[in-house]
Amino acid sequence: MIITKNLKNIAEDKKFIRKAIVITIPIALQALLNTSLNLVDTVMIGSLGESSIAAVGLANKVFGRMGDGAVASITITQTVEQIITVIFQGTSTAAAVILGNELGANKLKDAENHAKYFIILQFAFASIMGIICFISRIPLIRLFNVTGIVGTDISKCLIILILYLPFKVFNWVNIVGILRSGGDTKAALMLDITGGWCVGIPLAYLGGIFLGLPIYFVYAMVTLEEVYKFILGFRRYKKKVWLKNLV
C-alpha cells in the first residue's frame, strides 16, 4: 500500500517526471551504446569458445584461477549485467543533478521527497529488468559457444544477479545520487572502499581460492558486498546528513 501510494505521488508530480526523463534518457543511451559494444565483442569472442572468453577476463585473478569455464561464466554474466543496468546509471545521475539543484536552492523538503521518489523508481525498474533478465537468460546464453555445464553456471549466476539487483540499484542512487549531492562524500567513499576491500575481494578469495566453490557460489559471496553497502547506506540515508544546503 505504501509503495502504491508513493508511485501514485510520483505519477502526479509531472514536473519531477519531466526533469528525470530529460536527464536520464541521454545518460542511459550513452551507457547502452558503450555497453552494447562490449556485448558484441564478447559474443564474437564467445564464438571461438570458452578459452577465448576466459582470455579476455583473466585480469580478475580470482576467477582466472578457477578455470576457463568459471571465467567464461562470470565474463558473460557481467556483460549482461552491464546491459540491464544502464537505466539505473541514468536515474542515479539524474538524481544527483536534480537533488543538487534543489539542495542548492534550499528546497530541502522537495529534495527529501524526490530522493524517496528516485529510490522507489529504482526498485520498480529493478523488478522490471529482473523479470526481463529471467525470461531472456536462456536465449542470451545460446548466443555464446559454451558447454552445457558452463551454460548452467551462467544461468545460475544470472539468477543471483536478479536477486541482488535491488540492493545494487539502491546503492547506486544512494551513493551517486543522494549522498554525494548533499556533500556526504566521506560516507559515500567509505561505503565504496570498505564494500570492495573488506567484503567483496576477501570473500572472492575465500570462496574461489581457499574453498574451491563453484563459480555461482563465489559470485553470490562477492555480491554480498552490495548487501553490506545497502545496510550501512540505508542507515546513512535515514540520518539525513546529506539533506543540507552546501552553498
Q: How many helices (H) and strands (E) does the chain have?
A: 12, 0
| Distance from C-alpha of 79 to C-alpha of 244, rounded to nearest angstrom | 38
pLDDT of residue 46: 40
pTM score: 0.77
DSSP 105: T
Residues contacting residue 14 through CB under 8 Å, at least 6 positions apart: none
> What percent of the chain shows pLDDT beyond 90?
36
Round to whole Å and give the CA distance between 61 and 69.
14
DSSP letter, residue 243: -
The single-letter DSSP state of residue 13 is -
Sign of the CA dihedral running 89, 125, 237, 16: positive
CA contacts within 13 A on the Cβ side of 187: 25
Express each pLDDT in 110-142 by its tens digit. 999 999 999 999 999 999 999 999 999 999 888
DSSP H helical ranges for the chain: 2-12, 14-46, 50-57, 61-64, 68-84, 86-104, 108-141, 148-172, 185-194, 201-205, 215-222, 224-239
35, 88, 182 from 78: Cα distances, Å: 11, 15, 31
For residue range 188-237, list pLDDT tens digits in order.
Answer: 888 988 888 888 888 888 888 889 888 889 889 989 999 999 999 999 99
Compute the distance between CA of residue 85 and CA of residue 65 in angstroms, rounded to an integer: 27
Domain boundaries, the chain: 2-239
**Worst-scoring range by mean pLDDT, 28-32, 51-55, 196-200?**
51-55
